[in-house]
Amino acid sequence: MADVEFRLEGVDELLAKFESISFDLKRKGGRSALRKAAQLVANKAKDGAARIDDPDTGRSIAANIGLRWNGRLFKRTEDLGFRIGVMHGARIRTPGNPDPGLNGPTPHWRLLEFGTQNMPAQPFMRSALADNISAATNTFITEYKKAIDRAIKRSAKKAAKGV
């Protein structure tokens, strides 16, 4: 896998707002913001897969790209995370290689993504993240700021009613 490094700049304002809301609100708003950023990357991966998909076959790699909440990571470390990948596993389980249509298994995506000794790689998943890391980061930051502002307004409203 390719290692992608990035730095968040300009989040001082966001960190200052963290102090005024509770842990639950941070987690809920963070999950929503992270989902929107991950959807941006998933959509770019679908666009890249659509460019290399063979239109003559019924199977579509782009139709099988999915976005899933990473519950295991959250339970272990309480870190937020989403997984973006191609669904249906690595191989076709039905003998005879039937073609069930658009959402049928596409195990050949790995051959296209990583290449073989006879074919160069045509990465669409790795490039979706690498080429859009700044856009995804900006989306996360802006959506998270909105979520935190809403949480602050709600807590201020509750405090005003209680007083």
Return the sign of the alpha-carbon dihedral for residues 33, 63, 91, 110.
negative
Higher pLDDT among residues 98 and 45, named by residue: 45
Cα–Cα distance for residue pair 157/15, rounded to 1 Å? 22
- Can you tell me whether residue 82 is helix, strand or coil? strand
Report d(CA 74, CA 92) in Å as an integer: 30
Show the DSSP H helices in 78-132 as ranges.
109-114, 125-131
Q: CA angle, corner 108, sides to 57 and 55, nearest 5? A: 20
Residue 150 contacts by C-beta under 8 Å, 6 or more apart in sequence?
29
Give the model's pLDDT for residue 149. 86
pLDDT band per the 50, 70, 90 thresholds, residue 132:
very high
The pLDDT of residue 65 is: 93
What is the pLDDT confidence band of residue 2, given thresholds at 50, 70 and 90? low
Read off the pTM.
Answer: 0.78
CB 106 within 8 A of CB 58: no
pLDDT reported for residue 97: 64
Q: Name the residue with higher pLDDT: 34 or 15.
A: 34
